[in-house]
Amino acid sequence: MKFIQTIFFLLLAFTFTNCKNKTKAEVIEETTVEIPKLKALILDGENNHGIWPKTTFMMKSYLEETGLFEVDINRKAFTWIGPHYNEIEGVDDINKLLEMYPLNDGVERTAVEETKKDLNFSPDFNKYDVVISNLGWKSSHWPDTTKTNFENYMKNGGGLVIVHAANNAWGDWDEFNKMIGLGAWGDRDVNSGPYIFYNDKGEVEQDPSEGICASHGAQYEFQLQTRAVDHPIMKGLPEFWMHTKDEMYDRMRGHGENMTILATAYSDIEKNAPPWMKDVSGTGRHEPLLMAIDYGKGKVFHSALGHMDYSFECAGFITTFQRGAEWAATGNVTQEIPKDFPSADSTSVRKWAYKPVN
Ligand SMILES: [Zn+2]
């Protein structure tokens, strides 16, 4: 669907010769100007978070409702609904999500039990101002040429948004690891880089010790702390805000080159301990959950938030996602802070409903 933004210029022409009777002397000229939208591309099709067909459409509508973006979706040829998901409201079989959120693009796709490399995967990245990855843990590798094309697209000023498990993908793709600053799982280990976090004194610290890459506890509502108050994505946001139920990633590893930590959350030793791993606790550190990374001339917004659809419905998630995508695309943020942004002690939920587009 083509969106056209219309601006009305009112040109007032005054006649000074006969002021007394010239109340209608203004000549109003109406001019229509088309302002090009930013072009965004969402990549999906393989994610251990089986909710992905829905979260892709959520992200598409979040971007479109800013009035700034038009959004395409590139879905992999071999679709994989992963094993990790929680109960989804109104859905008894997670595989039905693919039918509920179809692309209707005439492309035939095959659902697979294990992720499978698509040798023809080759989006034209250069058509887009920003690429959003909804490809998660175990996503298949892209063909080498596609990887190189993407690296060049980013080095030359492209934009990338990483959401939650998108940072689990491709631990052995060095350039991707540089783009995302910090990664989780994906066979990452001490060689992937140190743990990076804020300490209680408000300083960024690195810990190069050995140990697992990434963990999280059971899901709960937790508080984000803004760290980069002057960054365009964060400017005007409160210092503290409550996020809806989600996983809190901790122990992410990476070199964090050219990375600004935008916001952190505190991983409590007990509360963020995975109940399914008796020898792992929370970290007692303030863990980076929103990051901005410069990669060549390109820009990356990385949000580790977003485990489930209800996590996406947080007004804080939505706002930072929308602002982060604009920043990754242009380097600026023009959006206002919404009135329903969460406060330090209460969450703010925007219930999302699918509105099919013809
Ligand atoms: Zn998750």
pLDDT of residue 1: 34
4 part of a folded domain: no
| Positive or negative torsion for Cα 328, 331, 336, 337 | positive
* Euclidean distance between CA atoms 161 and 153, whole angstroms: 14
23 part of a folded domain: no
The domain that contains 112 carries what CATH number?
A: 3.40.50.880
Ligand 1 centroid to 306 CA: how many Å? 7
pLDDT tens-digit map of 186-243: 999 999 999 999 999 999 999 999 999 999 999 999 999 999 999 999 999 999 999 9
1 part of a folded domain: no
Q: Are 316 and 243 in contact (CB under 8 A)?
A: yes
pLDDT of residue 118: 96
Task: Name the domain count of the chain.
Answer: 1
Nearest to 181 by CA among 46, 290, 267: 290
User: Which residues constitute the domain of residue 174?
Assistant: 38-330
**Residues of the chain falling short of pLDDT 50:** 1-29, 358
305 part of a folded domain: yes
351 part of a folded domain: no
Ligand 1 centroid to 247 CA: how many Å? 6
Tokens of 346: 């209460």
- Beta-bridge mates of residue 81: 47
Ligand 1 centroid to 11 CA: how many Å? 54
349 part of a folded domain: no
Ligand 1 centroid to 273 CA: how many Å? 15
348 part of a folded domain: no
240 part of a folded domain: yes
Ligand 1 centroid to 165 CA: how many Å? 6
pLDDT of residue 357: 59
Ligand 1 centroid to 136 CA: how many Å? 9
What secondary structure does DSSP assign to 265-316, as a single string?
EE--TTTTS-TT-TT----SSEEEEEEEEEETTEEEEEE---SSHHHHTBHH
Ligand 1 centroid to 33 CA: how many Å? 43
